[in-house]
Amino acid sequence: MRVVITGGSGLIGSALAREMGSAGHEVVVLTRDPSRVGTLPPGTRAVQWDGKTARGWSSLLDEGTAIVHLAGDAIAEGRWTDGKKRRIRQSRVESGQAVMAAIQEAKSRPRVLLQGSAVGYYGACGDEVVEESHPAGNDFLAQVCVEWEASTAGVEALGVRRPVLRTGIVLSDQGGALPRMALPFRLMAGGPLGNGRQWFPWIHVADEVGAIRFLIEREDAAGPFNLSAPDPLTSRDFGRALGRVLMRPSFAPAPGFALRLLLGEMADALLHGQRAVPRRLLDLGYVFRYREAAEALRDLLH
């Protein structure tokens, strides 16, 4: 099988490329700058893509192809100015429209398109348990997720199976949130964000990649799936687990007002989490390697 990954130089995309390549599949990573991809595993190649059109890669698609669409401007890098918010939205919508165009141009339809999204789709939900049937929120990130998902919805009318990946906070020792979260703990200044009562929908990168592979291979998998561990924690409890694994205290909270001064509107994404659970993924039979945060953190930090 050929697996085409948009955004393949990112944290999830690069891990998925290694997983699928090691399983013997042909992997094509679409990226604006192939030089950023680094050393690729056997069976994997990088193809340049402008992120806006189907130019140069629609010919890669056939009935044996799986597309995993993850491309989009990094949400956690930089303050959310009006320009940054515009790039976050446009990069996702335009790249999704390009994926749609490539499928329409292809001589034969791919077997499956996995559409990237995030649990931010649901907005701020308080303590409510959030399954995939929960409606969308109305804040900026929620509306970005709604538009991102909608950008490729038309492939279903073409007969292409489309699972939607509503991903939580991916824990990895190769980048993303975890190294930045661990640093203050290593400096003896770790603690929860804000009041610590908001939910923290985490997932180990091995389960993120494992779930994506599972959804590629399951012919009956379609529609939205929460990609987050079955046992979410509050920010305070996650901080305590992180402190125990690092053998550091967890008593120095980062006040909400300080986060808002530092990060602007992006702070709301940290201060209003979702108690997301992967109900549909579990119902299909996916078995998580890391259900508990402490176990996941020990694997990644030791």
- Pinpoint the alpha helices (H) of 166-230: 177-186, 205-217
> What is the model's pLDDT at position 28?
95
Fill in the amino acid letter for 163: P
Percent with pLDDT over 90 in the chain: 63
Residue 141 lies in a domain: yes
- pLDDT, position 253: 64
Residue 180: pLDDT band (50, 70, 90) is confident
Q: Does the pLDDT at position 293 exceed 90?
A: yes
pLDDT of residue 258: 53
- Residue 252 domain-assigned? no
**151 contact partners, CB below 8 Å, separation of at least 6:** 92, 93, 95, 96, 97, 99, 100
Q: Which residue has the tokens 């020792």?
A: 173
Residue 31 placed within a domain: yes
Domain count, the chain: 1
What pLDDT is recorded for position 271?
Answer: 67
In a domain, 233, yes or no: no
Give buried/exposed letters for 163-179 (b at 16+ CB in 10 A, else e): bbbbbbbbbbeeebbbe
The predicted-structure confidence for 149-173, as pLDDT tens digits, reads as follows: 999 999 999 999 999 999 999 999 9
Residue 289: helix, strand or coil by DSSP?
coil
Is the residue at 48 inside a domain?
Answer: yes
- pLDDT, residue 110, reads 96
Tell me the pLDDT band of 178, cut-offs 50, 70 and 90: confident
The token pair that represents 11 in the structure block? 């944290």
pLDDT in tens, 80-125: 788 989 999 999 999 999 999 999 999 899 999 999 999 999 999 9
The whole domain housing 280 covers 2-168+205-228+276-288
How far apart are alpha carbons 175 and 154 in whole angstroms? 33
CATH number at residue 151: 3.40.50.720
| Residue 296: pLDDT over 90 | yes
Whether residue 69 lies inside any domain: the answer is yes
Across the chain, mean pLDDT equals 89
Asked if residues 208 and 167 have their Cβ atoms less than 8 Å apart, the reply is: yes
Tell me if 78 is assigned to some domain. Answer: yes
Q: Is residue 244 in some structural domain? A: no
* Residue-wise pLDDT tens digits, 38-93: 667 777 898 989 989 988 788 899 999 999 999 998 887 777 788 989 999 999 99
**Predicted local confidence at residue 232, as pLDDT:** 92
- Per-residue pLDDT of 186-215, as tens digits, reads 877 777 776 788 898 999 999 999 999 999
